[in-house]
């Protein structure tokens, strides 16, 4: 109190002695900024070079593989048996395994995450909003190895008590647990999309006589649809790439099936299994993991690009409105 009254009483004298104004052509500062810039640029380049190197390694080894096995066999056959005498390299059983666990996961995560986001955005009080979002997002920090053993040791036995013919390794348990893992991701991204819908739009709907539910499902969700679509796509890409849970709980039997109760093998599960089993480099079996990895990389790349474009158009849409 005293200081402010003193300051206003004698405001001719400056409170703090500032350094004298520097000449406009201060070259020392320019040099320092150039040095910092020169040191930071390589740091940015490192990640770029690593990514490029990764893609090149992946593609080179995959090319080697396709030198021995025709892409026609890879994509045209429906049996994956790289280790038996009569080798078969039809990749579809692995793809179907990945799709199956991801589909089960999305069947859990999409409704759960979306409903949670709707609740948070439209119904929760500001006070519960403050702890609800971080609480759900903490789930995303649980190590996947924990989720994997939950699937194998908790979910599968629980399911077996009601489904007698469920195998010990199966796509269902793995998928369910992946769903739990993905829920916070879908929740968080779609909650952001829902809260990005301006309140004006909700008010307009209320003023026209729409009730709360109608407003949410006919006005707010369509307005947030691109963001929600992006959230679902990113989560799906993440589900396809999930490794540890499926390696632990889904089994290692590549088979082309839509039955989630039997053991299967996913693309990621196969790569992990081969990579950790000490297969010598330069063998055909070693190269298979690069072929499978390249395919997985391609699929998730396409999904991420789609999601990115959805989000970019979402931003463009929002600026149009405001």
Which residues lie near another protein (CB under 8 A)?
125-126, 197-198, 200-201, 203-211, 214-215, 218-219, 222-223, 225, 317-318, 320-322
Q: Which residues of 193-205 are buried (b: 16+ CB within 10 A; e: fewer)?
A: bbbbbeeeebeeb
Q: How far is the CB of 236 from another protein (least distance, A)?
A: 22
- Residue closer to another protein, measured from CB, 119 or 286: 119
Task: Decide: 107 and 177 in contact? Cβ < 8 Å.
Answer: no
CB of 314 to another protein, least distance (A): 10
Based on CB atoms, which residue is closest to another protein, 168 or 222? 222
- Which of 55, 204 has the CB closer to another protein? 204
Residue closer to another protein, measured from CB, 224 or 247: 224
Compute CA distances 231 → 31, 124, 241, 292, whole Å. 44, 21, 15, 25
CB of residue 255 to another protein, shortest distance in Å = 42
Report the residue number, 94 or 223, with the smaller CB distance to another protein: 223
**Are the beta carbons of 128 and 203 closer than 8 angstroms?**
no
Q: Which of 116, 317, 310, 111 is nearest to 229 (CA)?
A: 310
CB of 307 to another protein, least distance (A): 19
CA distance linking residue 281 with residue 275, whole number of Å: 10
* 101 in Cβ contact with 239 (< 8 Å): yes
Q: How many CA atoms lie within 13 A of 127 on its CB side?
A: 0
Report CA torsion sign: 141, 245, 184, 182.
positive
Closest approach of Cβ 220 to another protein, in Å? 9
DSSP 140: G
Joined tokens for residue 313: 């158009």
CB closer to another protein, 32 vs 312: 312
The least CB distance from residue 310 to another protein, in Å, is 14
């Amino acid at each position: 109190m005293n200081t402010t009254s003193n300051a206003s009483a004698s405001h001719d004298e400056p409170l703090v002695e500032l350094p004298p104004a520097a000449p406009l052509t201060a070259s020392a500062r320019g040099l320092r900024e150039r040095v910092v810039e020169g040191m930071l640029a390589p740091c940015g380049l490192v990640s770029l070079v690593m990514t490029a190197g990764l893609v090149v390694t992946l593609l080179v080894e995959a090319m080697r593989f396709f030198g021995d096995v025709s892409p026609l066999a890879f994509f045209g056959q429906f049996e994956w048996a790289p280790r038996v005498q009569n080798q078969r390299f039809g990749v579809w059983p692995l793809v179907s395994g990945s799709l199956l666990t991801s589909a089960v996961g999305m069947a859990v995560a999409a409704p759960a995450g979306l409903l949670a986001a709707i609740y948070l955005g439209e119904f929760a009080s500001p006070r519960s909003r403050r702890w609800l979002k971080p609480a759900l997002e903490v789930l995303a920090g649980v190590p996947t190895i924990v989720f994997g053993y939950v699937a194998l040791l908790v979910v599968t036995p629980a399911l077996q008590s009601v489904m007698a013919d469920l195998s010990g390794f199966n796509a269902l348990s793995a998928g369910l647990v992946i769903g739990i893992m993905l829920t916070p991701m879908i929740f968080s991204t779609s909650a952001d999309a829902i809260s990005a819908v301006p309140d004006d739009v909700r008010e307009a709907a209320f003023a026209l006589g729409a009730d709360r539910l109608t407003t949410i499902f006919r006005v707010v969700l369509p307005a947030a649809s691109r963001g929600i679509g992006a959230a679902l796509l990113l989560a799906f890409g993440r589900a396809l790439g999930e490794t540890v849970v499926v390696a632990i709980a889904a089994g290692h039997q590549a088979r082309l099936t839509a039955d989630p109760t039997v053991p299967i093998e996913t693309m990621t599960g196969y790569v992990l299994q081969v990579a950790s089993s000490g297969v010598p480099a330069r063998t055909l079996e070693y190269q298979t993991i690069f072929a499978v990895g390249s395919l997985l990389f391609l699929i998730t790349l396409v999904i991420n690009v789609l999601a990115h474009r959805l989000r970019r158009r979402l931003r463009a849409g929002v600026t149009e409105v405001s």
